[in-house]
Amino acid sequence: MTEKTILRALKGEVLPTPPIWMMRQAGRYLPEYRATRAQAGDFLSLCYTPDLAAEVTLQPIRRFGFDAAILFADILLICQALGAKLWFETGEGPRLSTVTSAAEIEALKPADAIHDTLAPVYETVRILSRELPKETTLIGFAGAPWTVATYMVAGRGTRDQGPAHALKTSDRAAFQALIDRLTDATIDYLSMQVQVGAEVVKLFDSWAGSLKGQDFTDFAVAPTARIIAELKSRHPGLPIIAFPREAGQGYVGFARATGADCVALDNSVSPEWAAANVQVDGCVQGNLAPGYMVTGGPEMDTAIRQVVRAFAKGPHIFNLGHGITPEADPDNVARMIEVVRGG
């Protein structure tokens, strides 16, 4: 059997057509997702019901034939597994009980206690590895420690990650302890996803862009490097994608500094710049602006071709620069795939 295209790109192979998948490809822009989510009742029940989580993971594969499926779950489930309370306010987003002191960080559950809560996620992975088409790669994921910490400290999503920055300044040792706990738990979580069938893992550091200078090194690069080194020692050859979103100049050398096989790029950097400065070190993923999935038209076709052309001389996985939004039109997604595949 020929190797799956995503795995070939992750090994550094330059393919005539880049493989393609899309962040948040299972999501509210799809009527079939909205129907399954309604059946589950709420978002967390959907994440924790393996049959339904597997179903929504498979929906965009059936509809569009993407080259990869990403496990349906959320980066915040690990907070719950560590003992925080987690719920989603309809129309607003996640809410968590906060963790803001050395004592509260110390009181979190140890890394090896996370698996009871996360067992349904592992079951979803098992179902998917049985049911996915043989050419489709299964991607597992977790949030990177800094991004998950921003939610745990603030108790919600924040525009500027202010509460996490404040704790980092007022008690750096406590903040480092939180990052260390999350790093250990993330290693065990991803390792288990791989044991039950994930073929690639991705680390989402959605708020990496708000870390500057030494903080970027300490809290984006260092934890990512430790997670990758430990995962690769437990699972030799495991391909790993890192997404330090909005890292800007921080993208340069990120693969070398962390050991990532692929750096995912947001759409604030131009593909031409990223080809010259990031793809020189290996595979990149990205980076069409998600807004085109709403607006479509000839401008979308042009932008898609620009991304494909800019990255054509090196290993590339086509994706958006961030998740597709609920207002997107599924017909634009179908057209994107057609254009990437030469239409």
Active site residues: 24, 28, 37, 74, 151
Helix/strand/coil (H, E, C) string of 215-230?
A: HHHHHHHHHHHHHHHH
As a whole number of angstroms, the distance between CA 152 and CA 207 comes to 13
Residue 25 makes contact with ligand 1CP by CB under 6 A: yes
Angle at CA of residue 120, ends 84 and 137, nearest 5°: 115
Q: How far is the CB of 4 from ligand 1CP (least distance, A)?
A: 19
Residue 26 makes contact with ligand 1CP by CB under 6 A: yes
Residue 209 makes contact with ligand 1CP by CB under 6 A: no
Residue 259 makes contact with ligand 1CP by CB under 6 A: no
As a whole number of angstroms, the distance between CA 59 and CA 25 comes to 9
- Which amino acid is it at 162? G
Integer CA distances (angstroms), 302 to 111, 298, 309, 335, in order = 47, 6, 10, 12
Residue 37 makes contact with ligand 1CP by CB under 6 A: yes
Q: Which of 146, 175, 189, 204 binds ligand 1CP (CB under 6 A)?
A: 204
Q: How far is CA 278 from the centre of its chain?
A: 19
Q: How far is CA 15 from the centre of its chain?
A: 23
- Binding positions for ligand 1CP, 142-161, rule CB under 6 A: 157
Q: How far is the CB of 316 from ligand 1CP (least distance, A)?
A: 19
Helices 330-340/297-310 angle, 10° precision: 40
Q: How far is the CB of 46 from ligand 1CP (least distance, A)?
A: 7
164, 149 Cβ separation under 8 angstroms: yes
Parallel, antiparallel or unpaired: strands 86-89 and 93-96: antiparallel
Query: By CB under 6 A, how many residues form the interface with ligand 1CP?
Result: 20
Q: Which is nearer to ligand 1CP, 93 or 297 (CB)?
A: 93
Residue 95 makes contact with ligand 1CP by CB under 6 A: no
- DSSP class of residue 111 equals G
Q: Which is nearer to ligand 1CP, 83 or 157 (CB)?
A: 157
Centre a 10 Å sphere on the Cβ of residue 87 and count the other Cβ atoms it contains. Answer: 12
Residue 74 makes contact with ligand 1CP by CB under 6 A: yes
**CA torsion sign, 136 to 56 to 143 to 190?**
negative
- Binding positions for ligand 1CP, 102-121, rule CB under 6 A: none
Q: How far is the CB of 49 from ligand 1CP (least distance, A)?
A: 13
Residue 323 makes contact with ligand 1CP by CB under 6 A: yes
Q: Site mask, ligand 1CP, residues 158-197, x = CB under 6 A?
A: ----------------------------------------
Residues that bind ligand 1CP (CB under 6 A): 23-28, 37, 43, 70, 72, 74-76, 93-94, 141, 157, 204, 206, 323
